Structures are given as structure tokens and as C-alpha cells.
């Protein structure tokens, strides 16, 4: 099988609007620290008008991972919906400038490009208030043999289930993948997202996914269990390859009976945490797509995550693994 690219991402195309906030601001928003809340356009305007000066940069969980894989030297493509506005132009520019093949045209009408108001509080914690805008228009019609092609793997994010045709288009993408010898990877996004779509995720993990990347809270939400040992036992009974991140406790790779424990690197100063999972996925999937051992995949993921939490912004730098052996 000849694969057109190594990794295709299908996800919400989002521009991050980042600002540092204090406790009082977070309390006034009422969202749990570290959570991602979906908001509508009016709420988006309300929160933006309360925020201080901000910095804008391309974001989106799986979009960050795709940018990361491209920066590591992988060949990548992307399916996500922006509007033909300035933020959409910024999003597509930032992807294309890394060599990512953008598969959809921007929407010419409908809501504006999505933005996530990223409220950074003490210790680099991120609380996200996300207006999905143009992402809500991603539809079954956008997922075709021609837009998906035959990548070595495709990566969906759980957040896609938050859009109307999301569950159906994920299934359609998986069906095209199966036909073309493409592996299907799923990022579970966040534990609240898993709780919103638990049954559908359970079905997708059992019947469609070849690879699942997640943090331990997301895994617990999926399995309805808690504690890493019971979780590893439960994941061992499933077919998919699981990469589970555990913050300072490192990560665990589970593939049937095979279990790999990877320690975290020590970090002195954490600047901004949430890119960590996306960067881990980038390192892990880059390793997987280039046929490295699962041990190496876990080490790559750890290295990328360690780097990204020491900078502002969720996307790793070019050539990060060049000096890594």
C-alpha cells in the first residue's frame, strides 16, 4: 500500500486567543480550572470583552498534533473547517507554512472561524472557553475518498463529536480508512468530552480505532473506572494500541498484553500545560508513522511534551527530534 501522507488530521480548526487571568476572573467565569467549555457567539463576545489584551495563535488539539508531526519532519494533511476570514487565513497559513496539505476550502458564508479563549492562570493552567463557529459546518460531505485519500494513519479528535454530523463523519472516515489500509487513531480530547459522548466513544474505540491517545482522566471517564492498574487491565482486553499520558507520572503504552511504562522528564518551570497532550501525540504518532518501536514512540512523545510545557503556545518547534537518539 502506498500512502499519500503519513498522518491526516480531522478536527476542529481553532485560533487560540490567549490571555493571563487571575483567580477572580476565573471565578467570575465559573468554569473549572483546566476545563474546556463550549460557548455560543454571544458568550464569546461577553468573555472577550472582559479579557485583557490577548495574543492570537493557531490552536485546536489535533491541529496542534498535526502541526507537531509536520515540524518533526512527517508528511501530513488536514481536514477542518474555517471561514474565509482573517482568522481562517491565519489558521490555514500556519498549517501550510509547515507543509501541511489543507484538504478543504474555507466556507464562504456562515459563522466566523472558531476561536478558543484560553485563560492562563497560575502554574500555567489553561481554562478554555471555545466558540466553534465555522467548525460546526464540518459535514459528511467533507469526508470523501478524495479528501481523505490513503494516509498511513488518520487522527480524529473527540471534540469532533461535539459538532452535529461529527459522530457520522467519524464513522465515514473510519470506513474509508479501512478500505485503504489506513490506521485510525483517536484522541479522547478531554474527560468532559468523553462524558458527553461516552457510548459513542466506547463503540468507536472497540470497533474503529487502531490507536487511542488519551490522558488518564479521559481513560477513566471512558472505562467508568479509576486507578491506573485497573485501567491497564481493562485496556489490555481491547484490540487498539493505547498511549495514556499521566502528567508528572509519565505515560503508559498498552497493546494487548504488552505494557510499557515511560517516566516523565523533570521540568523546573512549567509555563503553559495544555499543549502537553497534543505534543505527546505528535511525538508518539511520528514515531509510529516512521516504524519506530513502541518504546521509542513513548520516548518521542515524552520529549515533545516536556519541551512544549516550557513555552507559551501549544505547538512544538521545528526539528525538535533532530538531536534526539
Judged by CB under 8 A, how many residues of this single chain contact a second copy? 24
Does 26 participate in binding a second copy (rule CB under 8 A)? no
Half-sphere exposure in the Cβ direction for 2 (13 Å, CA)? 1
Which range, of 85-93, 183-191, 236-244, 277-285, touches a second copy by CB under 8 A? Answer: 85-93
Query: Are β-strands 14-20 and 55-59 bridged in parallel, bridged antiparallel, or unpaired?
Result: antiparallel
Q: Alpha carbon 42 to chain centroid distance?
A: 26
Q: Would you say 287 or 313 has its CB closer to a second copy?
A: 313
With CB under 8 A as the contact rule, the residue among 191, 253, 315, 320 that binds a second copy is 315
Does 64 participate in binding a second copy (rule CB under 8 A)? no
Which range, of 5-13, 45-53, 264-272, 274-282, touches a second copy by CB under 8 A? Answer: 45-53
Does 30 participate in binding a second copy (rule CB under 8 A)? no
In whole angstroms, the minimum distance from the beta carbon of 152 to a second copy comes to 24
Cα gap 100→66, rounded to integer Å: 8
Cα gap 149→34, rounded to integer Å: 35
Q: Bridge-partner residues for 101, per DSSP?
A: 77
Does 56 participate in binding a second copy (rule CB under 8 A)? yes
Sign of CA dihedral 180, 92, 98, 210: negative
DSSP strand E in 148-269: where? Answer: 153-157, 183-187, 211-215, 241-245, 251-255, 258-262
Query: Are β-strands 125-131 and 251-255 bridged in parallel, bridged antiparallel, or unpaired?
Result: unpaired
Neighbours of 43 (CB within 10 A): 15
Does 261 participate in binding a second copy (rule CB under 8 A)? no
With CB under 8 A as the contact rule, the residue among 69, 87, 107, 169 that binds a second copy is 87
Binding mask 91-130 for a second copy (x = CB under 8 A): --xx--xx-------------x------------------
Residues in contact with a second copy by the rule CB under 8 A: 48-49, 51-58, 67, 85-87, 90, 93-94, 97-98, 112, 312-313, 315, 318
Amino acid at each position: 500500500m502506498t500512502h499519500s501522507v503519513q498522518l491526516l488530521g480531522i478536527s476542529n480548526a481553532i485560533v487560540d486567543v490567549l490571555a493571563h487571568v487571575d483567580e477572580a476572573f476565573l471565578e467570575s467565569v465559573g468554569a473549572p480550572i483546566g476545563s474546556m467549555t463550549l460557548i455560543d457567539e454571544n458568550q464569546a463576545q461577553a468573555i472577550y470583552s472582559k479579557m485583557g489584551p490577548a495574543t492570537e495563535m493557531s490552536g485546536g488539539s489535533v491541529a496542534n498534533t498535526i502541526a507537531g508531526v509536520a515540524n518533526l519532519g512527517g508528511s501530513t494533511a488536514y481536514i477542518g473547517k474555517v471561514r474565509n476570514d482573517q482568522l481562517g487565513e491565519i489558521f490555514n497559513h500556519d498549517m501550510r507554512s509547515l507543509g501541511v496539505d489543507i484538504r478543504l476550502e474555507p466556507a464562504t458564508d456562515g459563522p466566523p472561524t472558531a476561536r478558543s479563549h484560553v485563560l492562563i492562570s497560575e502554574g500555567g493552567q489553561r481554562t478554555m472557553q471555545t466558540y466553534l463557529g465555522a467548525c460546526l459546518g464540518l459535514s459528511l460531505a467533507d469526508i470523501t475518498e478524495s479528501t481523505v485519500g490513503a494516509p498511513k494513519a488518520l487522527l480524529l479528535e473527540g471534540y469532533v463529536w461535539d459538532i452535529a454530523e461529527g459522530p457520522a463523519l467519524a464513522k465515514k472516515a473510519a470506513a474509508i480508512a479501512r478500505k485503504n489500509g489506513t490506521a485510525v487513531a483517536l484522541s479522547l480530547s478531554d474527560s468532559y468530552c468523553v462524558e458527553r459522548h461516552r457510548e459513542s466513544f466506547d463503540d468507536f474505540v472497540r470497533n474503529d480505532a487502531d490507536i487511542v491517545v488519551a490522558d488518564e482522566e479521559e481513560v477513566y471517564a471512558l472505562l467508568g473506572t479509576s486507578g491506573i492498574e485497573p485501567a491497564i487491565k481493562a485496556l489490555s482486553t481491547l484490540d487498539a494500541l493505547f498511549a495514556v499520558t499521566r502528567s508528572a507520572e509519565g505515560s503508559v503504552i498498552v497493546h494487548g498484553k504488552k505494557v510499557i511504562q515511560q517516566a516523565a522528564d523533570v521540568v523546573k518551570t512549567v509555563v503553559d500545560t495544555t499543549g502537553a497532550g497534543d505534543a505527546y501525540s505528535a511525538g508518539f504518532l511520528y514515531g509510529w508513522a516512521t516504524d519506530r518501536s513502541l518504546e521509542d514512540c513513548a520516548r518521542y512523545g515524552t520529549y515533545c511534551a516536556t519541551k512544549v510545557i516550557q513555552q507559551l503556545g501549544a505547538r512544538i518547534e521545528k526539528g525538535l527530534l533532530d538531536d534526539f537518539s
